[in-house]
Amino acid sequence: MTFAAMIGHMKDREVPQRILITGASGGLGSALARFYARPGVSLSLWGRDVPRLTDVAQACRAAGALVDVRSLDLSDVAGAVDSLNAEDNAHSVDLALFVSGLGDIRPPADKVEGADLVARLGVVNYVAPTALAAALAARMAERGQGRIVLIGSAAAFHALPFAAAYSGSKAGLARFAEALRLGVREHGVAVTLVSPGFIDTAAGRRVPGPKPLLRSPQKVAEAIARAAERRQAHVVLPWPFKILRLFDRLLPRALRERVLLGLSPPSR
């Protein structure tokens, strides 16, 4: 389905009214904000970079949406949860997309990632989105409805020696999403985990080496919206990354480790 047809199709169906997006100043988050922006929709856009958030907000307002922006650092997890509770008290959130995230690749000169970086990725990629999702899921469960989307990564399913903190934090997020989904499903709340491969954003372009099956943020945003609308449990984008996941599971450990080490930039 084309982008325009998809918007038309969604207009005729149940469109969430109040949508919260973290990481809305980034490549994928801004594509999602633009995708959902239309009359009758109210967007809460979170990020840190005020000029980029302002640009995205302007584009969304031009498309007819009501827009609030919130600049905050998710490293302050308690502060972020307070902000979420305050927003949800003021206007119940129907759909939340937790998109913010940090990438990392160990510099070739380093044998392992620095402790500071590992801690930062743990907080931004795992602690903050899971705490926010838990707080919101509890509120949605009380209301008997709502949708939560957590953006993980295809890297969650592979023990990448050059990006241990990234693959580890996203693996934790994937397990959390699955458990949360099972816990709140009977209360009318849908939790969708999205595991993308390579996306053509500034962050994606910083990853060295070839990027097979690279997708535009717009295409990925459309697929995420479709999955959220269908209340899908897990979507891997694009689908051939599912095959890699299967290989990873089936290969004998020695062979799997050889393949993973072959992907690594050499350490010195």
Kindly list the residues in this chain that would bind ligand NAP in the complex (CB under 6 A): 23, 25-29, 47-49, 52, 73-75, 99-103, 124, 151, 153, 196, 198-199, 201-204
Cα–Cα distances in angstroms (integers) from residue 42 to residues 45, 139, 222, 230, in the given order: 10, 19, 18, 21
**Looking at beta carbons only, is 121 or 184 nearer to ligand NAP?**
121
CB 212, min distance to ligand NAP, A:
12
Q: Which residue is nearest to ligand NAP (CB)?
A: 26
Q: What is the largest CA-CA distance in the chain?
A: 57
Nearer Cβ to ligand NAP (44/201)? 201
Residue with smaller CB distance to ligand NAP, 93 or 221: 221
Give every strand in the sheet of 95-98, ordered side by side. 66-71, 42-47, 18-22, 95-98, 146-151, 189-196, 234-237
Going by their DSSP bridges, the two strands 18-22 and 234-237 should be labelled as unpaired
Q: Which residue's CB is nearer to ligand NAP, number 119 or number 255?
A: 119
Name which of 8 and 114 has its Cβ closer to ligand NAP: 114
In the bound state with ligand NAP, the residue whose beta carbon lies nearer, of 26 and 168, is 26
Least distance (Å) between residue 117 CB and ligand NAP: 12
Q: How far is the CB of 25 from ligand NAP (least distance, A)?
A: 4
Tell me how far, at minimum, the Cβ of 70 lies from ligand NAP, in Å.
Answer: 10
Structure tokens at 15: 């469109």
Give the rounded distance of the alpha carbon of 102 from its chain centre. 11
The encoded tokens of residue 225 equal 């919206």
- Rounded (10°) angle between helices 27-36 and 50-62: 20
Q: For ligand NAP, which is the closer residue by CB, 65 or 74?
A: 74
Inter-residue contact 191 to 148 (CB < 8 Å):
yes
| Distance between CA atoms of residues 49 and 177, nearest Å | 27
Write down the least CB distance from residue 83 to ligand NAP, Å.
11
Q: How far is the CB of 178 from ligand NAP (least distance, A)?
A: 17
Work out how close the CB of 49 gets to ligand NAP at its nearest, in angstroms, rounded to a whole number.
3
Please answer whether residues 8 and 35 qualify as being in contact, where contact means their C-beta atoms are separated by less than 8 angstroms: no
CB 182 within 8 A of CB 225: no
